[in-house]
C-alpha cells in the first residue's frame, strides 16, 4: 500500500484551506466591527451601557486560535517545500495582535457595563480596533486571492507529486460493471470506494488534522464552559479574592410580607437571597456590579422597597460583613420577563443560574389541629415554629399574676373583658425570629369563622394580652365567634398556606 506524504493533502486542498481562512477572517471582521460600532455609538451617546454585555463573547478567541493553527500548518508546508513563507508569518503575528487587542477591548466593554471606563482608555481601544480592522481587510484580500486564483504551477508542486512516487494511473477512475445494477447504484458505490481509497492514502494526515480539530474543540469548549463562561448554580459557593458568594434562593413576587398586592402595573419584583463570607473584604460591595439577566433584558439592583420583603431577608445597604451573612438583592422587573431564564451576573463574568420560585402562587394548603406544630423552616422565614395548644372564647377572663413590690412578691389579678365584643384566648408555644405572636398572626394570619355555612373574617379589635403574659394571646374579636360552628386561623406565608382548625 502506497501512502502519500502528509503535505500532499495540503497541496491538493490549498485553495480550500485559504477559503476557510477567508471565512474565519470575515467572521472576525464582522464581529470586531460590531465592537467598534458600539464604542463609536457609546462615545457619541447614542447607545446605553447596558448593551455592552452583548459583545462580550468568547467565540472570537476560538476563531482566532483556529486561524493561527491553519496558518501554522501552511507555514510548515511552505518551509518544507522551500517556498515563500513570509505571508503566513505575518498572518500569525497579526492575529496574535488581533487576539490581544480584542481581549482588552472586550474587557473594556465589561468595565463599561459594570462601572465606568475612562474616556481616554475608551478612545484608545476604539483607535486600536480601527487599525487592526484595516490590516484584517488586507489579509482577507490576499487570502481570498489565493483561495480563488492560486496557481499550483507557480510553486512547482507538480515536481513534488512526482517525487512522491505516485503514478498518475493511481488517480484514474475505474468503472466496474456489475451486470444489471443501475447507474445510480453504481455511481454511489464508486463514490464510496473512492472515498475509502482517498482516506487510506491520506489517513495519517487526516487523522492528525481530525485529532487536532477535536482536541481544540474539546479544550475550547471545556475552557469556555468551565472557566471563561462557567455558569454556577444556586447553593454553589463561588470564591473570589475578597470573599465567597453563594446564592441561597431566588423568588418572584408582587406582594408584600403580609400578602398585600404592591401594584397593578406591569412590574413585579425579583428577589435574590445571597450569602457573603468575607476573606479580604476591605470595603462595602458595589451592588451596581450585580446585574440580573432575564432573557435578553438586564436589571440593576433597587433595594429602596426592601421593607416590603423583610420576611425574606435584610437588604444589602453598604454593610461591611465581618462574618458569614445573608443579604437580599431586589430587582424591579417587567411582568413579561417573569418566566424567562434567569441569571445573576457579577463583575469578572461570574454567572449564576437562578431557579426562581413564584411566591404569588400558593402551594397545597396544609390543615393543622390544636397541638399540631407549624414548621416555619418550610417557608421563607427559614426557621422557627408555631403551635396552638389550647383555645377559649369568653366574655371575660380573670388573669392572675405576680408583682414585685419592694422585694416582696404579691399575687394580683385583673379582668380581661370587652364591652360589646368577645375575648379569644389562644395558648401558644412558638419560636419566631424578630416577631411576637401577635405580629405573626396580624402579618400572616386571618381568623375566619362559619355561621350557617357562611364564612366570615373576624376583626381583631384589640390586643388585650398583658405585657407579662408570654404563653399566648388575649384578642378582642367579633362577638359572633361565640355562635360560630367552626373557627380557624388561616396563615399565609408567601406561597405557603396553613389552616389551623381552632374549633
pLDDT single digits (tens) 314-344: 888 888 888 888 889 999 998 888 888 898 9
Q: What is the 3-state secondary structure (H, E, C) of 310-360?
A: CCCCCECCCCCCCCCEEEEEEEEEEHHHCCCCEEEEECCCEEEEECCEECC
Grid coordinates representing 387 are: 403551635
CB atoms within 10 A of CB 252: 23
Average pLDDT over residues 388-393: 92
pLDDT band (50, 70, 90) for residue 171? very low
Question: CA torsion angle for 55, 59, 62, 65 (degrees, to 10)?
Answer: -30
Q: SS3 of 295, please?
A: coil
Give the pLDDT of residue 8. 62
User: Which distant-in-sequence residues (6+ apart) come within 8 Å of 376 by Cβ?
Assistant: 382, 383, 384, 385, 386, 432, 493
pLDDT value, residue 201: 64
pLDDT above 80 (res 387): yes
Angle between the 59-80 and 14-44 helix axes, to the nearest 10 degrees?
140
How far apart are alpha carbons 140 and 25 in whole angstroms?
6
pLDDT in tens, 68-83: 888 888 888 777 777 7
Confidence (pLDDT) at 374: 92
Per-residue pLDDT for 98 more than 60?
A: yes
pLDDT range class, residue 434, cuts 50, 70, 90: confident
CATH fold group of domain 232-358: Immunoglobulin-like (2.60.40)
262's CB contacts (< 8 A; 6+ apart) are 254, 255, 256, 269, 305, 308
Cα gap 33→132, rounded to integer Å: 10
CA dist 316 and 295 (Å) reads 25
Q: Are 353 and 486 in contact (CB under 8 A)?
A: no
Least confident among 225-229, 256-260, 420-424: 225-229
User: The pTM is what?
Assistant: 0.56
C-alpha cell at 403: 408583682
The most confident of the ranges 109-123, 159-173, 193-207, 472-486 is: 472-486
Q: Mean pLDDT, to the nearest integer, of 345-353? A: 79
pLDDT at 20 exceeding the cut of 90: no
CA distance 457 to 473: 18
Residue ranges covered by each domain of the chain: 6-172, 232-358, 366-501
Residue 273's pLDDT band (cuts 50, 70, 90)? very high
Whether the pLDDT of residue 160 is over 60: the answer is: no
- Per-residue pLDDT, 161: 40
If 0-12 CB within 10 Å is exposed, 13-18 middle and 19+ buried, where does residue 223 land?
middle
Do you know the residue count of the chain?
Answer: 503
Examine the pLDDT at 31 and tell me if it is beyond 80: yes
Query: How confident is the model over 191-212, as a mean pLDDT?
Result: 69
In whole angstroms, what is the distance from residue 228 CA to residue 295 CA?
20
* Whether pLDDT at 421 is above 60: yes
Residue 302, CA distances (Å) to 52, 287, 296 in order: 21, 9, 19
Pick 128 or 110 by higher pLDDT.
128
Tell me the β-bridge partners of 210.
Answer: none
Quick one: pLDDT at residue 282? 77
What confidence score (pLDDT) does residue 312 get?
87
pLDDT tens digits, 142-153: 888 777 754 444
Give the pLDDT confidence score for residue 202 in this predicted structure: 63
263 near 303, Cβ under 8 Å?
Answer: no
The 10 Å Cβ neighbour count of residue 158 is 11
Q: Tell me the three cell numbers of residue 245.
A: 458568594
pLDDT value for 429: 92
Q: Considering only 100-104, 183-187, 289-293, which range has the smallest mean pLDDT?
A: 183-187
Work out the average pLDDT over 294-300.
Answer: 86
The Cα–Cα gap between 421 and 417 comes to 9
CA terminus-to-terminus distance, the chain: 95
Higher pLDDT, 480 or 61: 480
What pLDDT is recorded for position 386?
A: 93
155 or 307, which is more confident:
307
Residue 403 vs residue 261, higher pLDDT: 261
Higher confidence at residue 219 or residue 75?
75
Per-residue pLDDT at 199: 67
Cβ partners under 8 Å of residue 336, min gap 6: 266
**Predicted local distance difference test score (pLDDT) of residue 174:** 44
Are 332 and 269 in contact, with CB atoms under 8 Å apart? yes
Helix axes 59-80, 86-114, angle to 10 degrees: 170
- 131 CB neighbour count, 10 Å cutoff: 11
Can you give the pLDDT at residue 370? Answer: 92
Separation in Å, CA 39 to CA 2, 18, 110, 120, 284: 57, 31, 12, 12, 30
**Degrees to nearest 5, angle at CA 303 with 444 and 107:** 140
pLDDT of amino acid 143: 84
Cα atoms found within 13 Å of the Cα of residue 29, Cβ hemisphere only: 16
Residue 13 has pLDDT above 80, yes or no: no
**Listed range (157-171, 338-352, 443-457, 471-485) with the worst mean pLDDT:** 157-171
Task: Identify the residue whose cell numbers are 487510506.
Answer: 200
Q: How many CB atoms lie within 10 A of CB 358?
A: 15
Q: What mean pLDDT comes out for the span 88-114?
A: 86
Comparing 109-123, 159-173, 189-203, the range with the smallest average pLDDT is 159-173
Amino acid at each position: 500500500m502506497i501512502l502519500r506524504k502528509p503535505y500532499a493533502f495540503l497541496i491538493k486542498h490549498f485553495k480550500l484551506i485559504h477559503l476557510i481562512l477567508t471565512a474565519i477572517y470575515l467572521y472576525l471582521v464582522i464581529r470586531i466591527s460590531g465592537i467598534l460600532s458600539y464604542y463609536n455609538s457609546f462615545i457619541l451617546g447614542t447607545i446605553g451601557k447596558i448593551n455592552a454585555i452583548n459583545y462580550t463573547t468568547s467565540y472570537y478567541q476560538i476563531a482566532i486560535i483556529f486561524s493561527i493553527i491553519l496558518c501554522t500548518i501552511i507555514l510548515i508546508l511552505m518551509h518544507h517545500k522551500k517556498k515563500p513563507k513570509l505571508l503566513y508569518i505575518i498572518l500569525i503575528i497579526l492575529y496574535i495582535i488581533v487576539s490581544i487587542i480584542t481581549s482588552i477591548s472586550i474587557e473594556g466593554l465589561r468595565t463599561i457595563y459594570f462601572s465606568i471606563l475612562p474616556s481616554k482608555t475608551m478612545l484608545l481601544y476604539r483607535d486600536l480596533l480601527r487599525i487592526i480592522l484595516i490590516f484584517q481587510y488586507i489579509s482577507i484580500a490576499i487570502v481570498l486571492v489565493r483561495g480563488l486564483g492560486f496557481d499550483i504551477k507557480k510553486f512547482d508542486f507538480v515536481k513534488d507529486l512526482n517525487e512522491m512516487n505516485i503514478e498518475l494511473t493511481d488517480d484514474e477512475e475505474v468503472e466496474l460493471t456489475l451486470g444489471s445494477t443501475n447507474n445510480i447504484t453504481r455511481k454511489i458505490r464508486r463514490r464510496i470506494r473512492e472515498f475509502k481509497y482517498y482516506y487510506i492514502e491520506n489517513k495519517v494526515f487526516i487523522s492528525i488534522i481530525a485529532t487536532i480539530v477535536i482536541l481544540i474543540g474539546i479544550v475550547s469548549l471545556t475552557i469556555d464552559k468551565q472557566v471563561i463562561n462557567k455558569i454556577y448554580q444556586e447553593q454553589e459557593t463561588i470564591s473570589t479574592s475578597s470573599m465567597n458568594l453563594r446564592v441561597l434562593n431566588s423568588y418572584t413576587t408582587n406582594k408584600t410580607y403580609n400578602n398585600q398586592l404592591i401594584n397593578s402595573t406591569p412590574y413585579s419584583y425579583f428577589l435574590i437571597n445571597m450569602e457573603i463570607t468575607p476573606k479580604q473584604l476591605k470595603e462595602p460591595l458595589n451592588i451596581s456590579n450585580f446585574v440580573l439577566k432575564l432573557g435578553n433584558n438586564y436589571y440593576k439592583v433597587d433595594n429602596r422597597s426592601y421593607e416590603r420583603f423583610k420576611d425574606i431577608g435584610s437588604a444589602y445597604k453598604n454593610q461591611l460583613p465581618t462574618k458569614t451573612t445573608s443579604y437580599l438583592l431586589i430587582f424591579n422587573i417587567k411582568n413579561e420577563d417573569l418566566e424567562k431564564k434567569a441569571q445573576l451576573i457579577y463583575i469578572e463574568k461570574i454567572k449564576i443560574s437562578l431557579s426562581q420560585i413564584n411566591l404569588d402562587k400558593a402551594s397545597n394548603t396544609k390543615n393543622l389541629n390544636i397541638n399540631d406544630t407549624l414548621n416555619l423552616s418550610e417557608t421563607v422565614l427559614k426557621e422557627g415554629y408555631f403551635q396552638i395548644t389550647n383555645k377559649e372564647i369568653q366574655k371575660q377572663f380573670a388573669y392572675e399574676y405576680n408583682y414585685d413590690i419592694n422585694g416582696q412578691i404579691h399575687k394580683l389579678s385583673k379582668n380581661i373583658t370587652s364591652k360589646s365584643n368577645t375575648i379569644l384566648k389562644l395558648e401558644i408555644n412558638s419560636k419566631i425570629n424578630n416577631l411576637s405572636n401577635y405580629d405573626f398572626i396580624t402579618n400572616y394570619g386571618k381568623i375566619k369563622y362559619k355561621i350557617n355555612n357562611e364564612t366570615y373574617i373576624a376583626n381583631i379589635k384589640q390586643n388585650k394580652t398583658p405585657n407579662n403574659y408570654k404563653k399566648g394571646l388575649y384578642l378582642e374579636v367579633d362577638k359572633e365567634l361565640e355562635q360560630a360552628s367552626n373557627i380557624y386561623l388561616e396563615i399565609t406565608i408567601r406561597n405557603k398556606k396553613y389552616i389551623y382548625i381552632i374549633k
